[in-house]
Amino acid sequence: MHLLEEPDMNGNPSDSLVIYLRQIGDFPLLSREKERELAMDILEKRTAFRRSVLTSPYGAKRALEILSEVQDGRHLIVRALDIRRIDHRGKQIDYPNEQQERLRQRLPMNLKTLNALLDPAKSHSARQMMKIYTLLEETPITTKILAKIPMEIRRILEEKSTDDVKTISLNSPSSLLAHCVDMEEKEAAMKEKEVELSEHNLRLVISIAKQYSGCGLPLLDLIQEGNMGLLRAVQKFEPRLGWKFGTYAMGWIKQAITRALQKQHLVHIPFNLQGQLRNEKTISPALTEINRAARAAMRAPLSLETVFPHSAGETFTLGELVPSREEDVPIAAHHTALRAALERALHVLPVRYRDIFYKRNIEKMKLQEIADIYKLSRERVRQIAKRSMDRMLTYAKSDDAILLRAFLED
């Protein structure tokens, strides 16, 4: 399912689009019952992954640090916390804004209790960790943020001494490694089911992408953007509310495609204003309307001496962020963009696929070397690396896909 070519000059479908359409035919549409069963399975595996992270001393400690940053205003509550339609008690929330306010009010008291329970001088029994897990789920951190914790643990184990590991993680290196392996296994099981549900709904993405054909992006790019929206819908879907997944996913797919199209405008128009300018009779707004919307979106210019707050009470000025003329800015910017694209793309892979792809394409290890590490055949390693590449390119945004293709072809 990897989309490498564009349609030809006459607008006819390219070979890659035809191949892609044939490949998604291998994934049949699910019945309502099968769809709900798979969605509930995803929910169970996501809960198991979250429990695995938050019942480990290091995972709970990191979650406490993140919640403290939310309380201090260093993290936006809507970005860091999962504003759910069904809370930790199983109660349905009719007004998410009210739930957000409840989380904000509950946070100070929970932080005080969690700080006492996670005292490094105390031992952390399984019963106590379950109590900590319950408190943390009252103000739930997003799964996307929690998914970074196993990678942090791997880095700590590789870079830190035994004494430092005990100090940082509140646990011995062997126990920390065991927790990390458990997290990675549960994360892999969760991602596998998420990809399975998205694969059975790829037809929906194509049907929606066709509606935006001719609006500024090739059909293949529209499909890729829609696939990102589909994956986001899978991660946010709540099957206990009784909704049909296709109906729920449609909004996320359209949002991903329309925001990608918005980036093609010469004059940047905020997404909410762009929607106001469109109507049933006109395809695009008049120049006067664009001008008016652009002026409404303009903000007062900032001085290079403007001071911004930083962590630990420090400050910095806007001028400090301006790069030096002596640096090779385009190359540095390209490397930064490529690194960010790789991080986003690797996030859709299971842990084992991610490691094999990284060793093969980043560390440039030989097939046999990787095969010896994972006790696999050379051919199986090659297949996993190829399948990982295909999956990354399928779910990558159009801009990321361009960077990744150029990198992988070098």
pTM: 0.63
Lowest mean pLDDT among 121-130, 269-278, 331-340, 391-400: 269-278
Contact 246, 26 (CB under 8 A): no
At the second CATH level, the architecture of 197-297 is Up-down Bundle (1.20)
Dihedral pair phi/psi, residue 369, rounded to 5° = -65, -45
* Structure token pair of residue 301: 């210019």
What is d(CA 60, CA 66) in angstroms, rounded to the nearest whole number? 10
406 confidence band (pLDDT: 50, 70, 90): confident
Return left, alpha or beta for 370; rule: phi > 0 is left, psi -120 to 50 is alpha, else beta.
alpha
What pLDDT was estimated at residue 14?
58
Asked if pLDDT for residue 49 goes beyond 90, the answer is yes
What is d(CA 358, CA 361) in angstroms, rounded to the nearest whole number? 5
What pLDDT was estimated at residue 5?
40
Q: What is the pLDDT of residues 235-245, one digit of tens each?
A: 988 888 888 88
Average pLDDT over residues 246-274: 77
* Structure token pair of residue 308: 């911004």
Asked if pLDDT for residue 40 goes beyond 70, the answer is yes
94 confidence band (pLDDT: 50, 70, 90): low
**So where are the chain's domains?**
33-149, 197-297, 329-409
DSSP class of residue 333 equals H
What pLDDT was estimated at residue 181?
92
What pLDDT was estimated at residue 208?
92
Q: How far is CA 101 from the centre of its chain?
A: 25
Contact 241, 86 (CB under 8 A): yes
CATH number of 329-409: 1.10.10
Q: What is the pLDDT of residues 144-154, one digit of tens each?
A: 899 999 998 88
Give the side-chain half-sphere CA count within 13 A for 2.
15
Residue 107's alpha-carbon distances to 70, 103, 104, 313, in angstroms, are: 9, 6, 5, 22
What pLDDT was estimated at residue 16?
73
10 confidence band (pLDDT: 50, 70, 90): very low
What is d(CA 308, CA 175) in angstroms, rounded to the nearest whole number? 41
297 confidence band (pLDDT: 50, 70, 90): low
Percent of the chain with pLDDT over 90: 15
Who wins on pLDDT, 97 or 235? 235
Kindly write down the DSSP assignment for every residue of 113-133, as one continuous string: HHHHHT-TTS---HHHHHHHH
Contact 6, 220 (CB under 8 A): yes
* Most confident region among 181-190, 254-263, 369-378, 387-396 by mean pLDDT: 181-190
